[in-house]
Amino acid sequence: MNEPNKTFDATTFVKGLWKENPVFVQVLGMCPTLAVTNSATNGLAMGLATAFVLVMSSMLVSMLRNFIPKQVRIATFILIIATFVTVAEYLIQAISIDIHKALGAFISLIVVNCIILGRAEAFASKNTVGKSIIDAAGMGAGFTFALLCLGVVREILGSGTLFGLQVLGQGFEPWVLMILPGGGFFTLGAWLLLFNYMKERKAAKMQEVVA
Amino acid sequence: MSESLSYIFINACLVNNFVLAYFLGICPFIGVSGNIGTASRMGGAVTFVMLVSSMCAYGIHTLLVAIDAPFLQLISYIVVIASTVQLVEMIIKKFSPALFRALGIFLPLITTNCAILGLALFQTSKGYNFLESLVYALGAGAGFTIALVIMAGIREDLDIADTPKVVRGTAIVLMVAGLLSLTFMGFAGLGG
């Protein structure tokens, strides 16, 4: 954050990162979350691309919020998002052909990521440009964080590496399952379990304090 | 293309099942798999939208190649899908008001089902011709319906099972989906 003294802006940012984390709490945007997180690098790249589209489209939607007729707003949002996704796709292709190949069609599929349309509809179309950008940045950061969590676990267990570097010793037998589709479901399920458990323990503690 | 039509169908339906291998359409997979009836109707609607949008996507791709504007691909696909869904909604409302009421909110939500956009993108990148695209769409739709119905059946039983409180909800659904995905890996190599 550039201005830590503005507490309100800070909470808008942090809520996307933790309390309203789009993946772990709202369970949105499952498809890219599961599909590309077979390595930490892919997860990070996907998270950053999504965050970029999220911030840019939230900004534009918020700027145009008084000009878009209510009846066609969803169609307009989708068009704005699709434009930025195209930009992101060509950017990634320019930066790294390898990542572009690894992510494949899933870059284009950012268009139908419910997080982006959800934020445009629920936040950006009702708030000022500044607030919308901070909200989008928070959500984007939360999404990237979640993708990284999944990617790191799956890469370490599935191939014994992290960001392509060997971390577990030679004797380690990789669990091939973890980089296969099934492993994606298991890992996300396990993370959700952990979050549920933490939430319940917190709730139980609160009750103890009250009693 | 040397792939036979039956190979394309089996490939899209079982071996590379859209939901369990490509992770496309996870949102309705988790959201609408509560009971078997709704799940199968949803599968039918999605299959129909897939068929129509696959035909349109084939036409658009030919046109875009002709005018040399591939960067418009994504934008025009999503517009076509959105209008197809709108069209399907109007048709169902006109001919079968009962089905229209049963599907309710799920109908417009098909627009943001990534399986449909994914199908259009995959058939383009694989270079299928018109007939192959249609069979591919049919297979993907059938695969989606199968996955959804199996999941709904398991969840109906899960509701009466005594599961620990922490795993209830999305967590257990994801675990079950993981097992299903492993099962479907057994189809690898089929139809080749």
Interchain CB contacts (distance < 8 Å): A and B: 110
What mean pLDDT is predicted for residues B66-90?
82
Percent of chain A with pLDDT over 70: 94
Strands A161-162 and A165-166: antiparallel
The answer as to whether B161 is a domain residue is no
Best of A33, A34, A37, A191 to substitute, by most chain B Cβ atoms within 10 angstroms, is A34
pLDDT in tens, B46-55: 888 888 889 8
Q: Rounded to an integer, what distance in angstroms lies between the CA atom of residue A193 and that of residue A198?
A: 9
- Examine residue B158 and state whether it is found in any structural domain, yes or no: no
Q: Which residues of A touch B181 (CB under 8 A)?
A: 180-182, 185
Phi/psi at A166 (5° precision)? -70, 125
Residues A166-178: tens digit of each pLDDT: 777 666 777 777 7
- Contact at 8 Å (CB) between B184 and B151? no
State whether residue B143 sits within 8 Å of chain A by CB. no
Cβ atoms of A105 and B119 closer than 8 Å: no
CB contact under 8 A, B26 and A181: no
Does residue B179 form part of some domain? Answer: no
Q: Quick check: is B124 in a domain?
A: yes
The CA-based angle B160-B165-B169, given to 5 degrees, is 70
Is B151 domain-assigned?
A: no
What percent of chain B is predicted at pLDDT more than 70?
92
To the nearest whole Å, the CA of A12 is away from the closest chain B CA by 26
* Structural domains counted in chain B: 1
Tell me if B136 is assigned to some domain.
Answer: yes
- As a whole number of angstroms, the distance between CA A82 and CA B98 comes to 34
The answer to whether B167 faces chain A, any CB pair under 8 Å, is: yes
Q: Which residue has the tokens 């939430």?
A: A199
Q: Quick one: tokens of A20?
A: 């309203």
Secondary structure class of A107 (helix, strand, coil): coil
Is B34 among the domain residues?
A: no
Range of the domain at B91: 5-26+41-143
pLDDT tens for A122-169 read 888 888 898 899 989 999 999 999 898 888 888 888 877 787 777 776
HSE-CB for B173 with a 13 A CA cutoff: 23
| pLDDT score, position B191 | 56
A194 — contact with chain B (CB < 8 Å)? no
Helical H runs in chain A? 7-17, 30-35, 40-63, 73-95, 97-103, 114-119, 129-159, 176-179, 181-210
Confidence band of A1 (pLDDT split at 50, 70, 90): very low
Residues of chain A contacting B171 with CB distance shorter than 8 Å: 189, 192-193, 196
Which amino acid does the sequence have at A154? R
Check if B1 contacts A (Cβ < 8 Å).
Answer: no
User: Average model confidence (pLDDT) for chain B?
Assistant: 82
Q: Which residue carries 């071996």 as its tokens?
A: B15
Q: Does B24 touch chain A (CB under 8 A)?
A: yes
| Angle, CA of B42, B46 and B52, to the nearest 5° | 150
Tell which of B77, B113, B125, B166 to mutate to test the A interface (max A CBs under 10 Å): B166
Closest by Cβ to B167, choosing from A112, A180, A193: A193
What does the DSSP 8-state code read for residue A164? Answer: T
- Within 10 Å of residue A140's Cβ, how many Cβ atoms? 26
Q: Residue B33: inside a domain, yes or no?
A: no
Q: Which of A25-29, A40-44, B58-62, B134-138 is predicted with the least confidence, judged by mean pLDDT?
A: A25-29
DSSP one-letter code for B12: I
Best of A107, A117, A185 to disrupt the B interface (most B CBs within 10 Å) is: A185
C-beta of residue A123 within 8 angstroms of C-beta of residue A58: yes
Amino acid at B14: L
Contact B139, B11 (CB under 8 A): yes
Please list the alpha-helical segments (H only) found in B12-110: 26-31, 36-67, 73-95, 97-103, 106-109
